[in-house]
Amino acid sequence: MKNQSPLTGSELLRTASANKSTAFTEEERDQLKLRGLLPAAVGSIDTQIERVLANIRRKDSDIEKYIFLSALQDRNERLFYRLIMENIREIMPLIYTPTVGQACKEFANIFRTEKGFYITANDRGRIREILDNWPNKDIRIIVITDGERILGLGDLGANGMGIPIGKLSLYCACAGISPEQTLPIMFDVGTNNEELLNDPIYLGLRQQRVKGDAYFALMDEFVSAAKDAYPGVLIQFEDFSADNAFALLNKYQENTFCFNDDIQGTAAVVLAGAYASSRISGTPFKDMKFTFLGAGSAASGIGDMIANALMDEGLSDEEAHQRLWYFNSRGLVNRAMENLPEHIQAFAHDLPDHDFLQALEIHQPDILIGATGRPGMFTQEIIEKMAAIKQRPGIFALSNPTSRAECNAKQAYTWTEGRAIFASGSPFDPVNHDGKVLRPGQGNNSYIFPGVGLGMIACEAKTIPDSIFMESARALAATVSDADLEAGSIYPVLDEIREVSLHIATAVAEYAFNNDLAGKDRPDDIRAYIKSLMYQPNY
C-alpha cells in the first residue's frame, strides 16, 4: 500500500502511525526523502515480524519484553498491532495480564514516553480545556481508571495508567478499533498507598485520595467534558474500588454511553463460561448453583448477571438469588451481617454462619467462583470437596494477575482427578493429566469488551444496558466448539479472538437495532458493515 502521509524524512520515521521503517519501497524512499535514512535492504512486514519475535524471545524477563513492545508501539504502530494479531497467544500475556500487573507496579521505573492522558484533582474547572491538548480529535473510546483497585494488586495510584493503555491495545488488536480513535486516561486523585507517596520517583499526585462529593464532582466534570469534546464517545470505567465502581455505573449508565468492565464485562465472560460448562457437565444452566469466594464489585456483578440469566430461564427473583451464595472476609454472607455493602445485599440469605466447607456441602454448587485477589484461597481440601459434590465441578479462579489466582490449573486438575472444568482470569499452560492434554479456559474480559465496544460504536448507541452484556455472553458461548469442550476448555482458543469479537459485535449491534438502542439506520448486512470498519494494520 502506498503511503499517503504528507510527512517526509526523519519526521515520517518518528511518526508511529505512518512509519513502515525498512518496508518503505525504493520508490517511496525517493518520494518521501528517506534515501540515506534507512539501510539498503527493503523488507516486508513479515520479515519485520520475524525480526521482532527473535528480539523478544532473547529477552530474559517478561517485563523486559513489555518494555520492548512498548517501544515498538511508539515507533511503528502497524507493525505492533500486526505482531499481536498474528501471535496473540504469545504476545497478549506480555501486553496485558499477567505482565501488565508488574508493569503497573514498576510504572515509574519503566516510563519512557507519554501514551495516555492525565486528569488530576488539580485540573478542576478546566478539564474540557485541557482535553484539547490531546492531538487526536476523532476519539471513539476512552478507558479511564483512578488506579484504586488495579487487578488484584490494590491501590497503585497513577501507576494504574498501564491498565487503560493495555485495554486499548486489545481493542485495536482484537476488535479493530483504530488506535487514533482511542484515549487512555488516568484519573489521578491521589493515592492512599504510603509506599508510593514516599517513593521519590512516583509520578502521580502526592496526596491522599480525594473522596466523597469532591471526587464525584470532578468525575461529573470529566464526563461532561468528554461528551462535549468527543460526541458519541464510549467511556469504559476500569479498576475502580467497588463502592466507586457501582456508584459511577448507577449514576451514568442510563444517560451516558458507558460501561464498567470489571462489573459487566467480567460478569458476561463468566456467564458465557457457565453456559458452555453446562455442555460438559450435562447440567442445564437453569438448574445450576454457584458459590462465590469474594464479594467485591466483580463478584457481585457476576451474581447480578447470572441471576438475571436464571430469571430469563423462568426462575423467580427469589429462586434465582437463592442459587448464589457468597463468602466474604467475614464469612457466609447472610442477613444477620451488619454494614453489608449495598451491591451485595441482594445475595444475603437467611442462613446460619457455616464455614466454607460446610457451605459447599449444604449448597452443593455446580461452579465455585473465586474473585478474592488472594492467591491460594482454593485449597486442596476445598477443590476435593467440589470433586466429591459434583462429577464435573466448575472451578473458576478468576483473580488477576496469575500470581493472584485462587489456584492454578494443574492443582485444579490434579485434585479432581482431571474432572474439573477450570477457568482463570490470566493464562495457564495446558496440563497433561494421565496422558490427556487439558487446555484451561481463560475467562478473561478480552473475550467480551472488544466486541461489545466495536458493536456499540458501530451502531452509534447512546447507552449500554445490562441486556447488551447478556447478549454478548450468549454470543461468546456460541463460539465454543465441540473441540474446545473436548479439550476441557469453555472458551474458544485465543487465536480466534478477532473473529469472536466480530461475532459478538454483530450480535450486540443486531440486538441494539432490534431494541431501539441504535443511533443510526440499520445496514443491510450488519456483519459486513462492522467488518468494514475494523482497523487492518497493513502497509
Enzyme catalytic residues: 96, 167
Q: How far apart are the first and last CA of the chain?
A: 5
494's grid cell: 485465543
Whether the Cβ atoms of residue 356 and residue 327 lie closer than 8 Å to each other: yes
Is residue 512 within 8 A of residue 459, CB to CB? The reply is yes
What's the chain's Rg over C-alpha atoms?
Answer: 23
- Nine cell digits for residue 465: 444496558
Q: E strands of 172-283, at which residues?
A: 182-188, 234-237, 258-260
Type of residue found at 279: R
Task: Report the alpha-carbon distance of residue 491 to residue 370 in Å, rounded.
Answer: 18
Distance of alpha carbon 352 from alpha carbon 113, whole angstroms: 55
Q: Do the beta carbons of residue 81 and residue 537 sit within 8 Å? A: yes
Q: Is 422 within 8 Å of 413 (Cβ atoms)? A: yes
Q: Is 344 helix (H, G, I), strand (E, B) or coil?
A: helix
All three cell numbers of 73, joined, read 508501539
All three cell numbers of 271, joined, read 456467564
Q: Is 189:123 a contact under the CB 8 Å cutoff?
A: no
